[in-house]
Structure 1
Amino acid sequence: MIVLRQPRRETGPQPIPELLHRALFKGVSLLPPGGQAVVLRRYFDWWHRSPDPWRLQTDAYEQRKYATTLQVLPDRPYRRILDVGCAEGAFTHLIAAEYPEAQVTGVDISERALNRARARPGPPLLSFTRADLIAYGQPGEFDLVVCAETLYYLGRDDRLRLASARLVELVRPGGLLLLVHPWPEADRLYTYLGDPMTRVLHHVDEDAHRPFSVTVFQSQPGPDAAAQP
């Protein structure tokens, strides 16, 4: 496994707003999965009443994460790419431009966000679909599944377990799961990925004002792996 680190700095405890944010979504995850999806859809539609509410397309920190993610992503052919929790498609458009021959799909729970993602010009193989991660079903079809800054919205451990199982199912045998989340919180969020995935790369940027990790897991190759192009 490859482990990369930026220069170390003291990270300290999470700030109070982050802790309150996590507590809110733990409460929402007490609902059944369908009810949780309804609340999250309304929550994110409300946030996206104005364009790019978290400045994902312009903020220097976000651009640093995107550049780092693309830099450490293993160089291999990707025919089908899925970006889970894509919001208005800031990173989805970047990775589609990086791999113009790949069929790239962005998935998010907010239709308002997706309408803005669709309005931006992009490669012909780029598309966007509204779906909840836990209910989304195209198992084993993607060479690369990306999930960034999304898992902590799922709340409690049982819901993280369901989301992790879904992410694993979406990756084809031998494919990659790319996760980008705050560090060291990411270590807890990835607890439930389990044996079907092997961690092959772990990059930690501790020098950012909000430290983050870029982690790549590989699915176990299938019996016909040698026949894969």
Structure 2
Amino acid sequence: MEESYFHEMYRDSDDPWGFTSRWYEQRKYQVTMAALSAPRYRRAFEAGCSIGVLSEQLASRCEQLLAVDLSDKAVQIAAERLKTAGGQAIAETRDFVADWPPGSFDLIVLSEVLYYLDHAQLDAVIAHASAALTDDGELIAVHWRWPVEEYPQTGDQVHDRLRDSDLVHTAGYLDTDFRLDVFARVARQSVAQREHLV
């Protein structure tokens, strides 16, 4: 998708997708946070953070959080929201497709961003994410399932591609509206196994 699409979306509204007002979004964030299998993460990366509504919730469970978006306006709003999370949560303007951040992460969040990518871009992002994910980390992807004419792919298509990658699928949720999948770089113990319940 053209970068101008996102700048135009924020030109007339600080919240063009209703992230702060819709129950659909609030519920999706609750399911997303519940799907994370660790109580805390050392270093997290959120691609396409928009105005930082999910970022703020992620920051409460991360020692460090890097949240990025293409839109300067969205990043300004996200940065303001993250001020209450302390200095270890930052928002910056970055094209995560062309400029994946350096270093490794034990949490990578790809929420409502991958269907904007063409097939080559999606494959590049999956390769970057797989290489950046720590052995004890997880990647969570969450996407709207209904087709949108402007989007190059559907949520189901990008999740199917993730399922076909080298990443290990560890958890998932599916309903009529959205799909959530959790992946690891290598096979990991479940929460119950980690806590010696089985």
TM surpasses 0.5: yes
Correspondence for 2:143: 181
Quote the Cα distance in structure 2 between the aligned partners of 1:142 and 1:58.
30
Deviation at 1:76, TM superposition (A): 4.2
Q: Which amino acid aligns with 2:14?
A: P
Q: Within 5 A, what are the aligned runs for 1:7-18?
A: none
Correspondence for 2:151: none
Quote the Cα distance in structure 1 between the aligned partners of 2:125 and 2:165.
15
Q: Which amino acid aligns with 2:124?
A: L
Q: Which amino acid aligns with 1:51?
A: D
Deviation at 1:145, TM superposition (A): 0.3
Whether contact under 8 Å (1:149, 1:182) holds in the other structure is: yes
2:178 to 212, 215, 220: 212
Quote the Cα distance in structure 2 between the aligned partners of 1:137 and 1:46.
24
Give the alignment's TM-score, normalised by structure 2.
Answer: 0.80
Deviation at 1:146, TM superposition (A): 0.3
Q: Which amino acid aligns with 1:114?
A: V
Whether contact under 8 Å (1:183, 1:204) holds in the other structure is: no
| Identity over aligned pairs, percent | 31
Quote the Cα distance in structure 1 between the aligned partners of 2:84 and 2:175.
29
Quote the Cα distance in structure 2 between the aligned partners of 1:197 and 1:141.
15
SS at the partner of 1:146?
Answer: strand
Quote the Cα distance in structure 1 between the aligned partners of 2:48 and 2:96.
8
1:103 to 57, 64, 81: 64
1:86 to 40, 49, 64: 49
2:84 to 88, 99, 122: 122
Give the alignment's TM-score, normalised by structure 1.
Answer: 0.70
Structure 2 unpaired stretches of 5+: 147-153, 188-198
How many residue pairs are counted as aligned between the two chains? 176
Whether contact under 8 Å (1:152, 1:189) holds in the other structure is: yes
1:171 to 117, 125, 133: 133
Q: Deviations over 1:155-195 (max 9, x none)?
A: x3222212222222232223111000123843420344455
SS at the partner of 1:94?
Answer: helix
Whether contact under 8 Å (2:35, 2:182) holds in the other structure is: no
Whether contact under 8 Å (1:178, 1:217) holds in the other structure is: yes
Deviation at 1:102, TM superposition (A): 1.4
Whether contact under 8 Å (2:45, 2:105) holds in the other structure is: yes
Quote the Cα distance in structure 1 between the aligned partners of 2:123 and 2:47.
16
Quote the Cα distance in structure 2 between the aligned partners of 1:187 and 1:140.
29
SS at the partner of 2:130?
Answer: helix
Match status 1:201 vs 2:162:
no
SS at the partner of 2:85?
Answer: coil
Instruction: Compare 168-177 and 66-75 and name the one that shifted more.
Output: 168-177
Correspondence for 1:63: 26
